[in-house]
Amino acid sequence: MAGILLDDGSSTDEERAALARATAASMRECSLQRYAALQASIGPEKLKRAVAVAGTVIADETIEPGPWSRIVSANDHLRIIDLEGQQAVDFLCYDKADLENRYNAANTIKSNRGIYVGKGTRLFSDKGDILMRIEDDTVGRHDTIGGCCSTEFNYLRYGIKNTPSCRNNFMAALASHGMGSRDIAANINFFMNVPVAVDGSTEIVEGLSEPGDYVDLRAERDVLVVISNCPQRYNPCSGWDPSPVRLIVWRQD
């Protein structure tokens, strides 16, 4: 991951920041070229299929990197569409009737018997309730262990102060529901690629999603969904160039 020079005992903030910025600029150019090639090869059909939900649309928003939240009613769907590919979407959900009963990563991993989520995955709460279920997924796997970036940890990694971050986005979204930083749990990162090697080592690498890939979740009960469309520019989680995503809430006819 670009610019991580933790504990080397000699690098200054300025040196770490210069390395992070130079690496990100170089990789961003590669990412933009890859996106242009994908767009040319895939064409518009994949995105057309992604937005063609089989029911009544309740809300349809395109959001830039930043916060988003909404109550999704029981049996309604939330479709998250990666418009340009390789764009991490940090995700949390809460039982609307009991906001302390929130998505629990460990319970979800144990119950689904794997560290990745995808089609068929049930998202469990602290109390063992199923909050949402992934009904459809065109990517195949999404991260549960990388967590959300924070302004403070970005500084430790990259030597750059005051970066936008998913933690700040979560806090902004939660504030409108009377909630705060203590309500941030270990989150899902849709479209983020965090492979784990046989020896247990792991890192964030370039994402698997292409323009028009999506994940579709159905609420098992009324839930509060909180999202940070990731603004990270200094590692591959958002293709080195954070981009918009489209969020469609829909109800099956």
Residue 158 burial (CB count, 10 A): 27
Torsion region of 13: left, alpha or beta (phi above 0 gives left; psi -120 to 50 gives alpha): alpha
Report pLDDT for 1.
Answer: 45
Q: What percent of the chain has pLDDT over 90?
A: 85
CB 250, CB 76: distance < 8 Å: yes
Q: Lowest mean pLDDT of 9-18, 83-92, 148-157, 177-186, name the range.
A: 9-18
- Can you read off the two tokens belonging to residue 205? 């690498």
pLDDT-based confidence at residue 5 (cuts at 50, 70, 90): low
* Residues 167-206 pLDDT 10s: 999 999 999 999 999 999 999 999 999 999 999 999 999 9
Please return the burial class of 118, using the count of CB atoms within 10 Å of its CB with bins 0-12, 13-18 and 19+: middle
The rounded radius of gyration (Å) of the Cα atoms in the chain is: 18
* Residues 216-240 pLDDT 10s: 999 999 999 999 999 999 999 999 9
- What are the CB-based long-range contacts (under 8 Å, 24+) for 1-9? 1/157, 1/203, 1/204, 1/234, 1/235, 1/236, 2/27, 2/158, 2/234, 2/235, 2/236, 3/157, 3/158, 3/159, 3/234, 3/235, 4/157, 4/158, 5/159, 6/156, 6/157
Whole-structure pTM value: 0.95
Q: Is the pLDDT of residue 7 over 60?
A: no
The two beta strands, 223-229 and 66-72, are antiparallel
